[in-house]
Every structure is written in structure tokens, then in C-alpha cells.
Amino acid sequence: MTETFAETWLRLREPYDHAARSAALAHRFLTVLPAAPRVLDLAAGAGSNARYLMSMGQGRADWVLADADRALLAAADLRTARMERRALDLARPAWPRTLARVDGVTAAAFADLVSAAWLARFARAVARRRLPVLVALSVDGRVAWTPQDPDDALVLRLFRRDQARDKGFGPALGAAAPWRLAADLRARGYQVHMRRSDWRIGSKDRVMLGRMIDGFAAAAADAALFESRDAVAGWSDRRRAQAAAGQLRLVIGHRDCLALPPSGSPASRSPPLNSP
Ligand SMILES: C[S@@+](CC[C@H](N)C(=O)[O-])C[C@H]1O[C@@H](n2cnc3c(N)ncnc32)[C@H](O)[C@@H]1O
């Protein structure tokens, strides 16, 4: 079954996503594309990834926004006519047909939802067409609350169990996704570049902090045995009080991954990537 995401959640996270991303990797992805490229954004939701890439100066692209959720696609606004909304279930084996006639593939906040088998098929499909790939904002497992709490480790352990739930693609990779993606693409001859793209949620970001506390607590409670539920509830109460007092901060680790196809294809004939 497809995991659903509320548009309000995608809008709330968008500024954190955009602030976190590696501009160097995004820029390099855009520079290896042809002058007026057709770019496929997988699991595009309401278009946040394309909005970010357009803000990096790619105004001449034709965007194909693909997602299973028609309501999210309908809400996508790129302020350009050069956008196609494509309702597409990426869990179906035929989805790679969408790669025909595109010059590059991107996705954001998606790789951690899929399984190892799905990523292997993805790598095979993009490599067959030698497409440049930019996969942004995959969680990498780092979660740092400030101040620390004695039950952080318990909540995180339970949260990770929930993260591995099948989201429609088989057992979800969660924090293993960035490394798996990089390994699969390297095995196909790609040159892979990874950068950190961490969410930094400050003490004034009360709405986002509240969302994160509720999200961690709900997922942890679902995965908890009966006796751990009180500990999770206590953790949530303490974290809410700290957030209300402006005393809580949070960093969530993510990785951006740029993969350039093997030499011989246009995308590989560009200068080396500088450090961000
Ligand atoms: C965390 S959201 C990210 C959305 C967007 N890329 C962004 O950065 O805001 C994950 C997206 O995956 C999409 N998704 C989940 N399962 C899917 C499937 N089987 N086929 C296509 N899209 C799917 C959801 O509809 C949602 O838009």
C-alpha cells in the first residue's frame, strides 16, 4: 500500500529541506544536463524538489513530476508552463518506461521509503539509459536532540523499527538508503558524490519541533512493547515542555547523492566537483 503524505507536512518541511540541501551537488547535476533538459522528478509530491532546482537557476527545463498521489500533484505549482504531472505508482514494475525521453532523474525525501530490491532495479534502469541522477534528502540515521534525554536512545531504537516498515516497496531501507544507493550506482560504473544535508531545527521553530516530537513519539509508541509506552509518553511530555520553553533543538541527518554515468556519456565529460 502506498504511504500517504499530507500536503501541509510537505509545505512545513520545505524550507528545512531547501536550507539543508547541497547546492554544489544540485548545481553540478544541472550543469551536466543539456541546455533545455527534460527532468524527471520521482515521488515529486507537491513539487518541492523541482522548486529548489529551479531556484538554482534551471529555468529552461521541462519538468515531469511523477507521484502516486494525484492530490499532491494537483497542488504542485512551479510557476512555469513547462511542467507535466504524471500519476505513477513507482511500486509497479513498469514505471521505468517513464525514463524514456528524459535527460536526468531526481528525487527528494524518497529513497529511505524503498527497499533494497527497488533501489537495485532503479540503478539498473537509470544505468541502461546512462542518466545523471540526483537523489536528495535521504535520512542517514543521525538524530541529535539538544539537550539530551535519557530516553532518546529508546525512542530512536523504536522509531527505527517503524522506519523499516514496508511503505509499498518491500521492507524500507530507512537510514541504510544513501549507502545502498551509492553502492548500487557505483557498481554500474557511476561516479558518486555524497554530501550531508541535515535539517537544523532551532529552538524558535516550535511548529516543526512539535511535529517532530509527535512523529517520533507516535512511531515509537506503535513499535513499543506495552512496558515501553510509558517511557515514550514521558519522553514526549519532557520534550514538549522544553520546546514550549524555547530550550530544544534538533538535527536530523540526511545525505544528498549525485551520480554521474560512466564515461562516454555527455554527463561524465564535465570538470571535477569542488568541495561544497
Ligand atoms: C516525503 S514525500 C517527498 C515528496 C517530495 N519529493 C518533496 O521533497 O516534498 C514522499 C513522496 O513519495 C510519494 N510516494 C510514496 N509511495 C509512492 C509510490 N508507490 N509511487 C509514487 N510515489 C509514491 C508520496 O506520495 C510522497 O509524495
For 13-26, the pLDDT digits (tens) are 999 999 999 999 99
For the cut 70, the answer to whether the pLDDT of residue 266 exceeds it is no
Whether 125 is in a domain gets the answer yes
Q: How many residues does the chain have?
A: 276
- Any atom of ligand 1 within 6 Å of the Cβ of 114: no
Best mutation site among 4, 8, 9, 10 for ligand 1, i.e. most ligand atoms within 8 A of its Cβ? 10
Q: How much is the pLDDT for 27?
A: 96
Has residue 250 got a pLDDT over 60?
yes
Q: Lowest mean pLDDT of 115-119, 144-148, 268-272, name the range.
A: 268-272
- In a domain? residue 15: yes
Q: How would residue 50 be classed by pLDDT, with cut points 50, 70 and 90?
A: very high
In terms of Cα–Cα distance, which of 199, 196, 178, 195 is closest to 14? 199
**In the prediction, which pLDDT does 273 show?**
62
Mean pLDDT for 28-32 is 96
Ramachandran angles phi, psi of 113, nearest 5°? -85, -20
In this structure, the residue with its CA closest to atom 10 of ligand 1 is 110
Which of 104 and 268 is assigned the larger pLDDT? 104
Please report whether residue 274 resides in a domain: no
Alpha helices in 82-163 (DSSP H): 116-128, 152-163
Per-residue pLDDT, 268: 54
Q: What pLDDT, on the 0 to 100 scale, is given for residue 100?
A: 95
Measured CA to CA, the distance from residue 81 to residue 210 in angstroms comes to 36
pLDDT interval class at 3 (50, 70, 90) = confident
The mean pLDDT of 144-157, rounded to a whole number, is 96
Give the number of domains in the chain: 1
The pTM (predicted TM-score) of the whole model is 0.94
| Angle at CA of residue 197, ends 265 and 181, nearest 5° | 45
pLDDT for the residue 267? 57
Domain assignment present for 126: yes
For residues 176-185, average pLDDT: 98
Assigned domain for 192 exists: yes
State the closest ligand 1 atom to the C-alpha of 110, by its place in the atom list counted from 1. Answer: 10
User: Is 18 a member of any domain?
Assistant: yes
Rounded CA-CA distance 135/151 in Å is: 32
**Average pLDDT of span 127-156:** 97
User: What number is the average pLDDT over the span 100-115?
Assistant: 97
> Is it the case that residue 275 has pLDDT exceeding 70?
no
pLDDT of res. 222:
84
> What CATH number does the domain containing 22 carry?
3.40.50.150
> Ligand 1 atom closest to Cα of 41?
6
Rounded distance from Cα 45 to ligand 1 centre (Å) = 5
Sign of CA dihedral 158, 163, 167, 173: negative
pLDDT at 276: 41
Pocket test for ligand 1, best of 69, 122, 135, 254 (most atoms within 8 A of CB): 69
Decide: 45 in ligand 1 pocket, CB within 6 A: yes
**Ligand 1 pocket residue status of 197, Cβ below 6 Å:** no
Ligand 1 centroid to Cα of residue 32, in Å, is 25
Give me ligand 1 centre to Cα 126, in Å: 19
**Domain containing 177: what range?**
7-142+170-199+253-268
In a domain, 68, yes or no: yes
Of the listed ranges 76-80, 93-97, 271-275, the least confidently predicted one is: 271-275
- Pick the atom of ligand 1 nearest to 89's CA: 20
